Structure 1
Amino acid sequence: MSGRTVPVNPATLKAEAAEVTTEETMTGYLLDRRVHYRQFTQGYRTGIEPVLMAAFVPAQPGQSILEAGCGAGAGLLCLATRCPGIAGVGLEADHATASLAQSNMEENSLGERITVVTGSLPDIPPSLRHMTPGANGRFHHAMANPPWHPANHTGAEDARRRLAMTMPEGGWVAWISALSRWILPGGSLTLALPAAVIDLACEAMRGSGFGGLVLCPLWPKQGRSAKIVLLRGIWGGKGVFRLMPGLILHRDEGGYTAQSEAILRGMEALK
C-alpha cells in the first residue's frame, strides 16, 4: 500500500460514485462502475496506484495471484475483473481492512476465487501454502504496492494509516525476498514504488532471483518527473532490463489522458 499525502481516489472517477455509509466506509466504483468498492472513510485511502499496478500484471485465465498489503482489495478486484478465471489470495496486516477487502470480493461475486487473510510481510502465515490454487504452494504472479516510509519515520496520527505507510524492518529487501519464495519459476512480481527507490528495488529483485526487469514510469503530466513507477520482474528470468515509454496520467488542461482512461475505466492492460 502506498503512503501518498494527497491520494487520488479511483472510487471518485465519477463524481456521483461516492457516498458515506453507516459503517464508516465510503462506497464507490472502479473500472467505470464494473466494480463496487468500499473503503474506510478515515485513515488510509486508496489511490490509483493499485489499479495501474493490476493492469501491469501479465496474468492469464486459470493462473493464480498473491497480493501483499492488499488494503481493501482495489488491486485484486481490478485484476480479477479484467482477467476472469484467475484465483488468488490477498494478504493484509490490518484485520479490519482485511475483513472489508473480503466483503468487497464477495459483493463483486469474487469471493470463491479471491480470499483475503490477515498477515504481513516478511512473516507470511504458513497456512497460505494450503490456500494456493496450485499443488506446489506457489503462485503464478505476485504484486505489491508496499509501504513507502522507513520503520523509524514519525508516521501518521491515524493508526491504520500509519500501518499502511510504514514498511517493516528490512524494508524493500525483506518484502521482495519474501515474495520471491511464493512465486513459481517463470512467474512475475509487480511492484508500485516511489521513483526514488528504483535503484534499491532493482538490486533487491536481482538479488532475489528476478530477471527480465521492466520499468514503467508514471508521468503526472507531459514534461513532469515521475514520482511513482511500476517495476516487474520474472523469477528466474534471463531477459535484459527494459525501460518502457511510460504512462502520462493527466492532460495539461486537466483530467486523465486517453491512455489513462483506457486503463482506469476501460480495463485495458498496461503494456
Structure 2
Amino acid sequence: MTKAPDAFLGGRLRLHQPARGAHRAGTDAVLLARLLIPAPEDRLCDVGAATGAVGLACAALVPGLRPTLVERDPDLAAQARTNAALNGIDARVIEADVLAPATDRRAAGLMPDSFDVVLTNPPYFSAGHHRASPHPGRAAAHTFAGDASGEALDAWIRTCTAILRPGGRLGLIHRADVLAECLQTLRGRYGGLAIRPVHPRAEAPAIRILISAVKGSRAALRLQPPLILHGPDGAFTREAAELHGVPPCC
C-alpha cells in the first residue's frame, strides 16, 4: 500500500517523501521556505530541492508562484514532480548537479541571471569530517563529496550566485558552527546580509543559522533576534508553531 503523503504547513502542502532512514524534509525546510516572501511573479529557484519541500512550500504560501526545483538525484527529482502535481503547483524540475561545470548546468537549463529569488539548503558536512549515514540517499543529501568543505560550499554558493539576477535575493540555512565559512563565501558577492540564529530551546546554543542576502548590494550586515523552536515543555513556541502552520500548544 502506498504511504499517505506527509502534511506540511498545517496541511496546506502534502509531500511524498523517501522511506524513514533516508533524508526527509522537516523543520529546516519550513524555516527556509518562510525566510523570504516572494511576489507571485518572482522567478524562484530551490537549489538542492530533493523532493521539493522548500520550493513547493513557497508556492503553497504564495498563490501563483511558479517555482523551479533543482535536484541532481533522478529519483528525488521524479518525486518532486509527483509532489508538484499532487498539490496542483506549476513547478519546473531541473535535474542538474549544482557543483557541475557551468556548461553542464546551462545544458540542463540553469541559465545565468535567471532568478529573482534563490533558496538553498546546502549539504551540511564534508566527507571524512563526520560519520555519514549508512543510507546512501541520506548521506548524499547531508554530505559534500571530498574533504574541502569550504571549497565545496563556495562552489555551491557560486552556482546560486550565477543563476541569481543582480539585486536578487538569496536565502540559505546552515549549521550554526559554519557561520564563518558562510560569511566568507558570501563576501564580495552579496550585501544586506541578515543573520538569524535558530535555537532548539532558549537556554541552548544555536544549531542553525538563517541568512538572507542581496546580490551585489553594499548594505550593512544585520544580526536579527533569535528564533527559539521549543519551550520548556518541549512543544513548539508560539512563533515556531505559526511558522509550521500548526496551533500553539497554549
TM-score, normalising length: structure 2: 0.89
CA contact (8 A) 1:180 1:235 kept: yes
TM-score, normalising length: structure 1: 0.82
Q: Are 1:159 and 2:139 an aligned pair? A: no
The match for 2:182 is: 201
SS in 2 for 1:231: strand
Q: Distance in 1 between matches of 2:56 and 2:65?
A: 11
The match for 2:37 is: 58
Q: Are 1:180 and 2:161 an aligned pair? A: yes
The match for 2:93 is: 116
2:222 corresponds, among 218, 221, 242, to: 242
Q: Distance in 2 between matches of 1:234 and 1:256?
A: 30
Once the two structures are TM-superposed, the CA of residue 128 in structure 1 deviates from its matched residue by 4.8
CA contact (8 A) 1:63 1:85 kept: no
| Letter of the 1:76 counterpart | G
Q: Distance in 1 between matches of 2:96 and 2:145?
A: 12
Sequence identity percentage: 26
Q: Distance in 2 between matches of 1:26 and 1:222?
A: 35
**Number of equivalences:** 237
The match for 2:49 is: 70
Provide, for residues 17-69 of structure 1, a one-character-per-residue CA deviation record: whole Å limited to 9, x for no partner: xxxx43xx562101111111110114112221011111002311200111111
Unaligned runs of 5+ in 1: 1-20, 267-271
Q: Distance in 1 between matches of 2:145 and 2:166?
A: 26
The match for 1:260 is: 240
The match for 1:224 is: 204
Q: Are 1:81 and 2:60 an aligned pair? A: yes
Q: Distance in 2 between matches of 1:238 and 1:83?
A: 29
Q: Distance in 1 between matches of 2:18 and 2:168?
A: 33
The match for 1:6 is: none
Provide, for residues 127-171 of structure 1, a one-character-per-residue CA deviation record: whole Å limited to 9, x for no partner: 454x77xxx751001111111111334522111111111114532
Provide, for residues 85-130 of structure 1, a one-character-per-residue CA deviation record: whole Å limited to 9, x for no partner: 22221111211111001100011000x2x1122222122621454x
CA contact (8 A) 2:116 2:164 kept: yes
CA contact (8 A) 2:96 2:108 kept: no
Provide, for residues 167-224 of structure 1, a one-character-per-residue CA deviation record: whole Å limited to 9, x for no partner: 14532111111110000111111111000111110110113x1111110111111121
| Letter of the 2:163 counterpart | W
Q: Distance in 2 between matches of 1:240 and 1:186?
A: 15
Summarize the Cα distance change of 1:104–1:177 in structure 2 as closer, same or farther, 3 Å threshold: same
